[in-house]
Amino acid sequence: MASADSLHNHKLMKPKSTQEKQNRAPEKKPINQKHARHLLHQMLRIRRFEERSAEMYTKLKIRGFLHLYIGEEAVAVGVTEALTSEDAVIATYREHGHALAKGMSADAIMAEMYGKQEGCSRGRGGSMHLFDASLRFYGGNAIVGGGLPVAAGLALSDKMQQRKRLTCCFFGEGAMAEGEFHETMNLCALWQLPVLFVCENNAYAMGTALKLSESVVDLAEKAKGYGVQASSVDGMDVLAVEKAATQAAQFVRKRHQPYFLECQTYRFRAHSMFDAELYRTKTEVATWKKKDPISMFIRHLKDHKLITDKMIGELEDKVAEEVQAAVDFAEQGTLEPVEDLTRFVYSETRSS
């Protein structure tokens, strides 16, 4: 079984080699307090929202699939800081964090997962199909790699209409074994499309470790093979992700070219709600949990006297209130009447 150190094989962001180094908060210069609290708040919103979602799933309030992002929060939060509200976001089926970071309300997401009409997709999509075009959040996609060509299409339309905005496409490293990945990289490089590709390399595609499915495991190198600029970053470190994503987004905006950013991360929970986790050891998971993006960030902020326990308590209270309100909203929501079942199948107005 691979160790946490050997799972992510990249020169730039080699995980620290000793236990002592892994336990130490990253050394970097302090950031301003308001921004620090904002980043922490966003990561806590995602973490607590998902913990509650897992609870409501076991209570059978949420049905269907549920893929949790716990452990990977620094990626969605850090990358979103590099985006404007005009930029589009495409994500995978593990997308609650991206939707929250992009501005979707916890109410709309929870109601969607409860299958209620008040959900962002009228309760028809569930956890994997969060969508809100008004926020330029284009899903949520159950198909591995399915978001990649959609991102290319959005970026192509922006280019043709001469709109100055980018499309940010999140996907797992498992998508890189799909044909859609190769076709999309090729066309985006060839047509010079403004896409920021963010590969969330959490080392596993369901139960398959990267090295068992890819001949080249240096993912940034793979992207460069298409003529796409690429780099890797420690996806457990929100500040590092924010910095790398900001540079990458600037590149896309200024050079009108795609960019590939690999974020090396780890999911702490099962692939979905049912997964015997036979493909990794408890020790491996425990080792990665020492790099928990939230506790690492809190330690960093405390080291630089940017946060106190009281402030953290206040943030936790605020988040708890938001999550409880979302559950109440979903509980009180309405199920679609059976007569509406065929609505939207072909168009907004036709009922059959």
Give Cβ neighbours of residue 78 (< 8 Å, ≥ 6 apart). 39, 238, 239, 240, 241, 242, 244, 245, 263
By the rule CB under 6 A, 206 interacts with ligand TPP: yes
On whether the CB atoms of residues 108 and 324 are closer than 8 A, the answer is no
Question: Do the Cβ atoms of 106 and 93 come closer than 8 Å?
Answer: no
**Which candidate, 271, 8, 258, 263, places its Cα nearest to that of 148?**
258
Minimal CB distance to ligand TPP: which residue? 172
Provide the CA 53 distance to its chain's centre, in angstroms: 16
Q: Report the nearest approach of ligand TPP to the CB of residue 294 (Å).
A: 19
Q: 197 to 256, contacts with Mg ion by CB under 5 A?
A: 202, 205
Per rule CB under 6 A, count of chain residues that contact ligand TPP? 15
Question: Which partner from the list ligand TPP, Mg ion, none does 175 bind, CB cut-off 5 to 8 Å by kind?
Answer: ligand TPP
Residue 172 touches Mg ion, criterion: CB under 5 A: yes
Which has the closest alpha carbon to 144: 109, 101, 179? 179
In the complex with Mg ion, which residue's Cβ is closer, 8 or 116?
8
Of the two residues 135 and 142, which places its CB atom closer to ligand TPP in the complex?
Answer: 142
- Residue 184 touches which of ligand TPP, Mg ion, none (CB < 5 to 8 A by kind)? none
Phi, psi values for residue 111, rounded to 5°:
-60, -35
Question: Which span (76-84, 96-104, 164-172, 306-314) binds Mg ion, by CB under 5 A?
Answer: 164-172
Strands 195-201 and 229-234 come out as: unpaired
- Which of 50, 173, 242, 322: binder of ligand TPP (CB under 6 A)? 173
Smallest CA-to-CA distance from 118 within 138, 110, 102 is with 110
* Minimum CB distance to ligand TPP, residue 172 (Å): 2
Nearer to ligand TPP, 2 or 205 (CB): 205
Could you give the CA distance from residue 167 to residue 154 in angstroms, rounded to a whole number?
A: 7
**Which residue in the set 138, 204, 226, 259 belongs to the binding site for ligand TPP (CB under 6 A)?**
204
Interaction site with ligand TPP (CB under 6 A): 92, 94, 142-144, 172-175, 200, 202, 204-206, 271
